[in-house]
Amino acid sequence: MKRRAFITLLGGAAAAWPLAARAQQSARLPTIGFLGANTPSAQSQWTAAFERRLRELGWIERRNVAIEYRWAESRFERSPEIIAEFIRLKVDVIITHGTVNVVAAKAATSVIPIVFASAADPVGNNLVAGLARPGGNVTGLSAQIPDLAGKRLELLREIIPGLRRLAIMVNGGNPAAMQDLPEVQAIAGPLGLEVITRDVRRAEDIAPAFESLKGRVEALYVPPDPLSNRVRFNTLALSARLPTMHGTREQVDAGGLMSYGSNQTNLFRRAGDYVDKILRGAKPGDIPVEQPTKFDLILNLTAAKLLGLEIPPTLLARADEVIE
């Protein structure tokens, strides 16, 4: 081969190599497996907050990171199947929320890092070894769900001073919600509250549960749960003339009376920081589990008017947001 031809060939190969390398690299972006507990529309604000935080930290979807979204749609029996798919896809980190989903992820892999955007009592539910040093491959943000039961009952009694009969509608298939139940019952006893419990695990359980409560209770306590059908749930509550106390503001947006709890949108935003650290090489077991520092009181004046309730001015003044 002539010297000039050889140099031309070598130069062409050298020029082509970076292109091939770049093409090979772009074929495998760092990948996040995102398992939502409900539907895309039901948690659109949470997802948007997570994506926005990633962009702020330099992670642009389809440019230098890929996100595989999957949705359990409140059918948690599907969660192990979705996690198994993430494992087959060889995602670099799994992000999810809700104790059921985190348990499913932890049972399926001890290698892939797992970040929970919101989970109740991570230590008590054996998700992590400790808050300061989670250990293993799991870390994230605690929702502190059981600790808030007393405050929620206190707020409910401010609106209904003569409250004596309370219903708790709980998803028995959700460990976090079931953890909240004994806490509410323990507090209700000394307050002189009679408590009736209804187990609601599927959408078709909601209407019969409300029908069975008509005329029997004066208010409804709803433990935080990623069940969808929020609008239908609260429409039935208003029809049954039942004031509701929820754990997340999204239920109040959908027609519930009031909520008190951690800001879920903010938790999902902060989860972006965890994913960023892991994608940059941090080990999940070394990243402390954080707890919420602020809890929001949200009131729905439209629901109050439909129920014939007057919100005390002192409670209105303390609300973080009033929906009219």
For residue range 155-169, what is the model confidence (pLDDT) as tens digits? Answer: 999 999 999 999 999
Alpha-helical regions (H) of 90-139: 99-108
Task: Write down the pLDDT at residue 27.
Answer: 64
For residue range 266-315, what is the model confidence (pLDDT) as tens digits? Answer: 999 999 999 999 999 999 999 999 998 789 999 999 999 999 999 999 99
Task: Write down the pLDDT at residue 204.
Answer: 85
Task: Write down the pLDDT at residue 226.
Answer: 52
Do 236 and 207 form a contact (C-beta atoms < 8 A)?
Answer: yes
Which single residue is written with the structure tokens 């892939």? 112
Task: Write down the pLDDT at residue 145.
Answer: 67
Nearest to 86 by CA among 37, 36, 30, 33: 33
What number of CA atoms fall less than 13 Å from residue 152's CA on the CB side? Answer: 36
Helix (H, G, I), strand (E, B) or coil at 103: helix
> What distances in angstroms separate CA 146 from CA 90, 101, 183, one per listed residue?
35, 18, 6
- Judged by phi (left if over 0) then psi (alpha if -120 to 50, else beta), residue 143 lies in alpha
> What distances in angstroms separate CA 258 from CA 191, 220, 296, 319, one per listed residue?
20, 11, 10, 10
Task: Write down the pLDDT at residue 163.
Answer: 95
- Cα separation, 271 vs 96, whole angstroms: 10
Q: Which residues of the chain have pLDDT under 70?
A: 1-27, 145-146, 225-228
pTM of the entire predicted model: 0.83
Task: Write down the pLDDT at residue 17.
Answer: 39
Q: Which long-range contacts (CB under 8 A, 24 or more apart) does 113-116 make?
A: 113/137, 113/138, 113/139, 113/278, 113/283, 113/284, 114/138, 114/139, 114/140, 114/284, 115/139, 115/140, 115/271, 115/274, 115/275, 115/278, 115/284, 116/140, 116/141, 116/271
- Cα separation, 51 vs 73, whole angstroms: 20
Nearest to 43 by CA among 114, 104, 117: 117
State which H helix or E strand residue 34 sits in.
Answer: strand 31-36
Nearest to 117 by CA among 142, 93, 145: 142
Task: Write down the pLDDT at residue 18.
Answer: 43
Domains of the chain from N-terminus onward: 25-142+264-293 (3.40.50.2300), 146-262+296-323 (3.40.50.2300)
Task: Write down the pLDDT at residue 148.
Answer: 87
